Amino acid sequence: MDFWKDQTFVVTGGSGFLGTYVVEALKRRGAVQIFVPRSAEYDLRQQEAVLRLLEDTQPDIIIHMAAVVGGIGANRKRPADFFYDNLMMGTQFMHESCLAGVKKFVTIGTVCAYPKIVPIPFKEETLWDGYPEETNAPYGLAKKMLLVQGQAYRQQYGFNSIFLLPTNLYGPRDNFDPATSHVIPALIKKALDAKEAGIKELVVWGDGSPTREFLFAADAAEGILLATERYNDIEPVNIGSGEEISIKDLVTIIAEETGFDGDIIWDTSKPNGQPRRKLDTQRAKEAFGFESTTLFREGLRKVIDWYQQEREAVR
């Protein structure tokens, strides 16, 4: 408990989806000094804002989760924003944190950094064995450059920077905006909208063949904080559940859990995205004792229940 109580934390992206779970988990561990910067006050793309944030907070440990994120549609529409904003937010912040004497910098990367085609399950050693899937390559590469930077700064300056690779996340408080949401909230919203409107067709992008691995957000937060406390090495680490599910099966489960009983229509004019995703999670287990605990269907029910309550509250 002293580790958490005695440190000052800056959690960028701490008011976002995953960030709220990380902040809650920090508080449960006894952390007292937690600062969550907001972009309106601290635009991390600007050096002046980065320097001001470090001066204002004097952090011991930084957990950097701030990111511009979205599903396939958003990545295709705004690839330049996804590259520039994510790269600049991270690289300036890490550089100035090193110069300011920050004790530890925890970078939250993305499974999108992996090559499009790589043996299943994804092992950290294969991270450089090819180019990422095209629809999210600018985002994935911007994040992967922070791994390169962290390793270089460790080599030259002895800077304690670690890099974590979480898989696709889901959970209550996720983003349900159709323009920017990821696959699970997008499908839940579509299914509930169709059910309430009496529409008997649910149109889904692609052909249903790709697979994904999903990790409950609260589990991801636990993995991040275990690494923050216990991991101090140069190698990247996967944070995942180890469970793989096809998009076709995912849609079937969501239809069942939401009560949608219509037909599933596959729009094959739209992209599938990466063919398969499943992480090898052995390094996280061995290095800092992380294993996910939330079963997928159980977590999915929690998301649907939360979203239905939010819809009712809006009405």
Where along the chain do its domains lie? 2-174+213-243+276-294
Residue 273 is predicted with a pLDDT of: 86
Residue 180 is predicted with a pLDDT of: 83
Residue 155 is predicted with a pLDDT of: 98
Task: Report the predicted TM-score, pTM, of the whole model to 2 decimal places.
Answer: 0.94
Structure tokens at 204: 């889904």
Nearest Cα residue to 217 out of 127, 138, 293, 114: 293
The burial class, CB within 10 Å (0-12 / 13-18 / 19+), for 229 is middle
Among the options 42, 139, 153, 231, which is catalytic? Answer: 139
Class of domain 2-174+213-243+276-294: alpha beta
Strand partners, 106: 63, 162
Residue 168's SS3 state is strand
Residue 70 is predicted with a pLDDT of: 82
Strands 61-64 and 237-239 turn out to be unpaired
Q: For 235-281, how does the pLDDT look when each residue is reduced to its tens digit (9 = 90+)? A: 999 999 999 999 999 999 999 999 999 999 999 999 898 899 999 99
Residue 142 is predicted with a pLDDT of: 97
CA distances from 266 to 74, 190, 192, 274 (A): 20, 13, 18, 17
Residue 186 is predicted with a pLDDT of: 94
Residue 14 is predicted with a pLDDT of: 97
Residue 152 is predicted with a pLDDT of: 98
Torsion of CA 99, 105, 111, 113, to 10 degrees: 10
Where the chain has pLDDT below 50, the residues are none
157 is catalytic: no
User: What does the alpha-carbon distance between residue 213 and residue 219 come to, in Å, rounded to a whole number?
Assistant: 13
Which residue do the tokens 């059910």 mark? Answer: 195
Residue 274 is predicted with a pLDDT of: 87
Give the CA radius of gyration of the chain: 19
Residue 75 is predicted with a pLDDT of: 84
CA distances from 158 to 151, 154, 161, 205, 233 (A): 9, 4, 9, 46, 11
Strand partners, 61: 9, 104
